[in-house]
């Protein structure tokens, strides 16, 4: 039987080919690939993982140009038709979800530029769910809104 023997194991060309293809395409089929996007000044804008369709999945962190944390949370690995931002923030933001509509999932933390908490929002498939809380820069709660099916109630 033709093939390759190594340490008394016999490998056929089909098995070797299948193994090589699985190895080469496993990040696309099974895994996640790390991604890092930079600001023009060379500092990190955001970092996290993307799936085989280049959609954000798992934990992501976003940073202001000065390197301070802007937001952190998880993505579902799915796209949504719309992203919901219950509280208005600065337009100079690292978050670009409004362009691509990656589906946020779980608890997200947003911060003012000086590292103080801006708000905490829970998402499911890109929609806010449960309690969303916004804070003043002093850390005192400024606003609390409850959400169901992407809508406040």
- 82-to-17, 100, 101, 105, 109 alpha-carbon distances in Å: 42, 9, 6, 13, 19
DSSP secondary structure, 91-126, as one string? SS-S--HHHH-EEEEEEEEEE-TTS-EEEEEEEETT
- Tell if the pTM clears 0.85, that is, is over it: no
H or E element that contains 77: strand 69-79
CA angle 76, 82, 88 (to 5 degrees): 100
Rounded Cα distance, 130 and 117, in Å: 18
pLDDT tens, residue order, the chain (153 aa): 455 555 555 556 666 665 555 555 544 455 689 999 999 999 999 999 999 999 999 999 999 999 999 999 999 999 887 767 777 766 556 666 555 688 999 999 999 987 899 999 999 988 899 999 999 999 999 999 999 888 888
Provide the 8-state DSSP code for 86: S
- 5-13: long-range pairs with CB below 8 Å, 24+: none
DSSP-derived letter for residue 83 is: -
């Amino acid at each position: 039987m033709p093939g390759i023997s190594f340490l008394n194991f016999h490998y056929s060309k089909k098995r070797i080919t299948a193994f090589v293809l699985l190895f080469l395409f496993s990040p696309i089929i099974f895994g996640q690939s790390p991604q890092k996007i930079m600001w023009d000044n060379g500092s990190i804008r955001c970092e996290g993982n993307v799936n085989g369709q280049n959609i954000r999945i798992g934990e992501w962190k976003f940073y202001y140009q000065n390197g301070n944390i802007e937001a952190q949370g998880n993505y579902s690995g799915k796209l949504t038709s719309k992203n919901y931002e219950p509280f208005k923030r600065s337009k100079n933001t690292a978050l670009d979800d409004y362009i691509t509509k990656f589906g946020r999932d779980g608890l997200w933390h947003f911060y003012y530029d000086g590292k103080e908490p801006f708000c905490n929002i829970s998402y499911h498939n890109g929609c806010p769910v449960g309690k969303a809380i916004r804070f003043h820069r002093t850390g005192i709660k400024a606003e609390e809104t409850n959400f169901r099916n992407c809508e406040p109630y």
